Chains A and B, each alone.
Chain A
């Protein structure tokens, strides 16, 4: 698969603060990547460096296999950073025309993209009259003007009301459905879980996890069980080879697994040991729990 962006051992220092430590990342065409991390973990710094606005301290990155200079490559990239930045005294359309000039493309896509984000009827309004949600949607339209190879979004729903968040997510999903590669930085976990296929977890500038979203949330599932005789239930459970440990919380027995175990197999095993369950739920650990687990250390 074609590599769009590769980052190798990137470091960034702000004075004595090490903002990024040996971050490496490979972005392949067609995937949707999420960068997760608490505030100040280095997400925006990473994106800032590859977008030519923050200087790296050391390390390498290359766009499209290093065939293009960074600023040429950025013409084929659509990016939105935290706050939508446009000229307040220009209208939406004028702002997009300016972006076209910078990217060296003609104006033919402007109407199409404004329609995509639902701003075509406001194209002659000055940018300064827009609400934050509209500004953010205009930023998305601007990022899509050149039908980019990759769309980079840094906290795209930050500060929006629930309606705005929903609109932005819908647009992102539409774009992802068309096969555009997306790199999404966020601290909102469900956002990443819903749209991303790959995830990178950062904390204090270091990578804690890098891989598939399923990989992070599927490896450890657990059961919630309840039976009349809790003591014998635990006793029997501990004899099962696939079970790592058991724990009692709120009158329920939590069962953590070493290896894969289906609910029906567990039920059958317990029944054959003369235990009838009154409650059986298999839970996947959510990305949120995994994330908290990862970033706690």
Chain B
């Protein structure tokens, strides 16, 4: 395992573009903290984001993981190109000839994905703790460590998404096309979702019951948008007569579905690699 990881990390780290993207990703992650310093004055009203309660425990777990997950695209590019490069350099063939088995090859990529996800998760966890302790109105231990499931959901979301990227990289062989395919897939899911929602099952919950099994939809279901949950926005909603009964917790079913997709993507990647003549 350590050997596979060191092989893959050497491939990524010595590549300038991958190194820059990875570093950019982590630097941008730490910029989430900068949201705290957003402040402006409207007339006599002094407005500071940090004071709006977004850094309150336990809400901050939800907020930070949601924002951090948007940045995953940077690592997705690294992962797609690390796979596509193996094809274009012909090094996939050479690696196999040198004695790496196809299973080990996929595994080395997957271990790296898990490591990236783990690093991001730990990074976000520590950053959230620091931000929370600096700005949160409540710092009792029992409150600080509620809703930690968002951290778990964040990890699962990254692993699932990166596995999807890896699969696309292996399937399409070209990084640009693979990322394009990812975009196309997002659109396909959105259109299907729209058709199901408004045309086929306009009433009831059948549409969302079906769409929750789509890979990207399941990943976004893991961490729902946190903005309407903010007390400020909630109170505006109530004043306007919109009753918000949304359940913001991490659905266990979504975790399960994403994990299933991860396994499916890995299995399919292996199958493609096994059956393809290089």
> Does B6 sit within 8 A of A, measured CB to CB?
yes
Candidates A70, A87, A102; contact of B98 at CB < 8 Å: A102
Q: Report the nearest A residue to B91, measured CB to CB.
A: A85
Task: From known contacts A54-B278, A83-B90, infer whether A98 and B11 are also in contact, taking CB-CB under 8 Å.
Answer: yes
| Complex contacts, A53 vs chain B, CB 8 Å | 93, 96-97, 277-278
* Cβ-defined contact, B89 with A88, below 8 A: yes
Task: From known contacts A74-B99, A102-B98, infer whether A85 and B90 are also in contact, taking CB-CB under 8 Å.
Answer: yes
> Does B142 sit within 8 A of A, measured CB to CB?
no
> Does A247 sit within 8 A of B, measured CB to CB?
no
Cα-based distance from A135 to B242 in the complex (angstroms): 68
Cα-based distance from A55 to B274 in the complex (angstroms): 8
CB distance from A247 to the nearest CB of B (A): 47
> Does B95 sit within 8 A of A, measured CB to CB?
yes
> Does A48 sit within 8 A of B, measured CB to CB?
yes
A34-92, CB < 8 A from B: 48, 51-55, 69-75, 77, 79, 81, 83, 85-90
Q: Report the nearest B residue to A14, measured CB to CB.
A: B277
Chain B contact residues, majority secondary structure: helix
Cα-based distance from A51 to B95 in the complex (angstroms): 11
CB distance from A167 to the nearest CB of B (A): 21
Task: From known contacts A53-B278, A103-B98, infer whether A85 and B7 are also in contact, taking CB-CB under 8 Å.
Answer: no
> Does A101 sit within 8 A of B, measured CB to CB?
yes
Contact with A along B122-148 (1 / 0, CB 8 A): 000000000000000000000000000
Cα-based distance from A72 to B99 in the complex (angstroms): 6
Task: From known contacts A81-B93, A85-B93, A86-B91, infer whether A71 and B99 are also in contact, taking CB-CB under 8 Å.
Answer: yes
Question: Which of A85, A89, A102 has the most C-beta atoms of chain B within 10 angstroms of its own C-beta?
Answer: A102
B226-278, CB < 8 A from A: 274-275, 277-278
| Complex contacts, B98 vs chain A, CB 8 Å | 74-75, 99, 102-103, 142
Candidates B3, B89, B97, B277; contact of A81 at CB < 8 Å: B97
| Complex contacts, A102 vs chain B, CB 8 Å | 7, 95, 98-100
* Cβ-defined contact, B91 with A87, below 8 A: yes
* Cβ-defined contact, B97 with A51, below 8 A: yes
| Complex contacts, B85 vs chain A, CB 8 Å | 87
| Complex contacts, B93 vs chain A, CB 8 Å | 53, 81, 85
CB distance from A182 to the nearest CB of B (A): 16
* Cβ-defined contact, B7 with A98, below 8 A: yes
B3-58, CB < 8 A from A: 3, 6-7, 10-11, 14-16
> Does A272 sit within 8 A of B, measured CB to CB?
no
CB distance from B9 to the nearest CB of A (A): 10
| Complex contacts, B16 vs chain A, CB 8 Å | 89
Candidates B10, B15, B94; contact of A85 at CB < 8 Å: B94
Task: From known contacts A83-B90, A88-B89, infer whether A55 and B277 are also in contact, taking CB-CB under 8 Å.
Answer: yes
Q: Report the nearest A residue to B6, measured CB to CB.
A: A101
> Does B192 sit within 8 A of A, measured CB to CB?
no
> Does B208 sit within 8 A of A, measured CB to CB?
no
> Does B101 sit within 8 A of A, measured CB to CB?
yes
| Complex contacts, B3 vs chain A, CB 8 Å | 101, 104
A235-290, CB < 8 A from B: none
Task: From known contacts A85-B93, A85-B94, A101-B3, infer whether A71 and B10 are also in contact, taking CB-CB under 8 Å.
Answer: no
B42-98, CB < 8 A from A: 85, 89-91, 93-98
Task: From known contacts A86-B94, A87-B11, A89-B15, infer whether A75 and B99 are also in contact, taking CB-CB under 8 Å.
Answer: yes
| Complex contacts, A83 vs chain B, CB 8 Å | 90
Cα-based distance from A164 to B96 in the complex (angstroms): 27
| Complex contacts, A224 vs chain B, CB 8 Å | none
A2-34, CB < 8 A from B: 14
Contact with B along A102-116 (1 / 0, CB 8 A): 111000000000000
> Does B225 sit within 8 A of A, measured CB to CB?
no
* Cβ-defined contact, B96 with A87, below 8 A: no
Cα-based distance from A99 to B277 in the complex (angstroms): 22
| Complex contacts, B100 vs chain A, CB 8 Å | 71, 102
CB distance from A155 to the nearest CB of B (A): 15
CB distance from A89 to the nearest CB of B (A): 5
CB distance from B228 to the nearest CB of A (A): 46
| Complex contacts, B6 vs chain A, CB 8 Å | 101
* Cβ-defined contact, B14 with A85, below 8 A: no
Task: From known contacts A48-B277, A85-B91, A86-B89, infer whether A101 and B10 are also in contact, taking CB-CB under 8 Å.
Answer: yes
Q: Report the nearest B residue to A72, measured CB to CB.
A: B99
> Does A193 sit within 8 A of B, measured CB to CB?
no
Given contacts A54-B278, A142-B98, could you give 18 more A-B pairs where the C-beta distance is less than 8 Å?
A52-B96, A52-B101, A52-B102, A54-B277, A69-B101, A81-B93, A81-B94, A81-B97, A85-B90, A85-B94, A86-B91, A87-B14, A87-B89, A99-B98, A101-B3, A102-B7, A102-B99, A102-B100
What would be 22 A-B contacts, judged by CB atoms less than 8 Å apart? Answer: A48-B277, A69-B101, A70-B101, A71-B96, A71-B100, A73-B99, A74-B99, A75-B99, A77-B99, A79-B97, A85-B91, A85-B93, A86-B91, A87-B15, A87-B89, A89-B16, A94-B14, A97-B10, A98-B11, A101-B10, A102-B100, A104-B99
Closest 8 CB pairs of A and B: A85-B90, A75-B99, A71-B101, A85-B94, A74-B99, A53-B278, A102-B98, A54-B277
